[in-house]
Structures are given as C-alpha cells and as structure tokens.
C-alpha cells in the first residue's frame, strides 16, 4: 500500500458513515479526514457525546503515516475492537484520518472473533464511504497580469494541470494557482515566455492537492 510521506498522502476525501447489524447488535462506523491529533480527539469527543446512549464508541486514528497512532476498545474485551479498527487504516494505507465505530448492544455476545470481524467490517465500510484519495504536495503561486493577458494565462493553466484559486480584479488581475512539482518549472517558463518576461509569478505557499482517487 502507498504510505504517507513528505510528498504524498493517502487519506480520506470526506466523512463516511456506514451501518451494519450483527446478531442484533448495530455497528455504526464513521471515518473522517483530520490534520492534527487535536482534530481527531475533537471528532471522537463529538461522536461519544452525540451517541452517549450507545454501549461502546470504539475509535482509532493514524497521523503522518505511522508517526502517531492511537486506539481504544472503549470497554470491549482488550484487542477485540480498537486494534482491528486501527488495522483497517494501516492496511488500507490511509493516514490523517480517524474512525469511530459506535455499537448498540443487541443482547447477544459475539465473542472475541465476532467482535473483531464486526468492528473491522464497520470500519472498512466507513472508510470506503469516505473515499480513499491520494494527495500530493503542490506549490501555490500568485500572478499579477494585465486584463488582456489574463484569459491567455487562464487557458494555459489546465495544460500543466494547474488549478486556479482566488482571483482579484483591480488595476491588474491577480490570480493564484496551484501546481504539482513536476509541472512547476515548465509552467513558470511558459508564463515568462508568453509575457516576454514582464509577468513574474510569486510563490506564496504549499498545499496538498488531490491527484487521484484510490479504488
């Protein structure tokens, strides 16, 4: 599986929710992308508060690859819930994400093996609903240009896979754009060529942009 590194991240696109029933117990899995441990803990607290009437709210999160990993069985037999949920994140390569599986007890004991299967399946379904994606580090640039040059540059950005961000219209047009590392140098060269060197982009930051959706 692809792992998180300095240039690429396999993570989730959005919150995903999935539900299953096993021997009258209802398992509700929720998966959410997060950027920090604080965000993960806040999400866990939110779910535990919202579903305080449930028997268990099992959780796990994984950040920056294997740098930060935590999980909790929340009262289930040790190793039967939190670790299986965390394993779903690890085996799918997903990082910067938290999963909470809420269980409403149905009165029938599942045994350790049954719990592992149920919690794992609820987590997998939630992760699938959240959509696994790959993000790649991209540079964010700002370009000031004339109104006459603006549509020409706008037509050029897609050829290099660049995404246009905020645009301000004043005496000149100032447009921000995000571009992947391998296309950065040729795009900047093309801008300078088109403007005869009069348009000089300015780097304003970095971000992680979606480069693919994982099956």
Per-domain residue ranges of the chain:
8-130, 135-213
**3-class SS at 208?**
strand
- pTM for the model stands at 0.72
Q: Which residue has the tokens 């950065």?
A: 184
Q: What pLDDT score was predicted for residue 214?
A: 52
Give the C-alpha separation, 214 to 132, whole Å: 5
The CATH classification of domain 8-130, taken from the options 3.30.70.580, 3.40.50.300, 3.30.230.30, 3.30.420.40:
3.30.230.30
Q: Any idea which architecture 135-213 has in CATH?
A: 2-Layer Sandwich (3.30)
CA distance 14 to 97: 10
Return the SS3 of 167.
Answer: strand
pLDDT tens over the chain, length 215 residues:
444 455 778 899 999 999 999 999 999 999 999 989 999 999 999 999 999 999 999 999 999 877 899 999 999 999 999 999 999 999 999 999 999 999 999 888 899 999 999 999 999 999 999 999 988 888 999 999 999 999 999 999 999 989 899 999 999 999 999 998 888 999 999 999 998 888 889 999 888 776 555 54
């Amino acid at each position: 599986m692809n792992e998180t590194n300095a240039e690429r991240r396999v993570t989730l696109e959005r919150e995903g929710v999935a539900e299953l029933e096993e021997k009258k117990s209802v398992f509700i899995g929720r998966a959410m992308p997060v950027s920090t441990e604080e965000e993960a803990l806040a999400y866990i607290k939110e779910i535990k508060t919202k579903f305080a009437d449930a028997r268990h709210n099992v959780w796990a999160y994984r950040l920056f690859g294997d740098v930060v990993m935590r999980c909790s069985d929340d009262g289930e037999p040790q190793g039967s819930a939190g670790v299986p949920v965390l394993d779903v994140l690890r085996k799918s390569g997903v990082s910067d994400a938290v999963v909470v599986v809420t269980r409403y007890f149905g009165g029938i004991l599942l045994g350790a093996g049954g719990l592992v299967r149920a919690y794992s399946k609820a987590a997998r379904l939630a992760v699938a609903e959240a959509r696994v994606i790959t993000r790649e580090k991209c540079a964010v640039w700002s370009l000031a240009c004339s109104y006459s040059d603006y549509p020409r540059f706008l037509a050029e950005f897609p050829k290099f896979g660049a995404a246009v961000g905020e645009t301000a219209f004043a005496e000149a047009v100032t447009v921000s754009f995000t571009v992947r590392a391998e296309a950065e140098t040729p795009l900047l060269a093309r801008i300078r060529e088109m403007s005869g060197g009069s348009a000089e982009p300015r780097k304003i930051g970095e971000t992680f942009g979606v480069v693919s959706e994982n099956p």
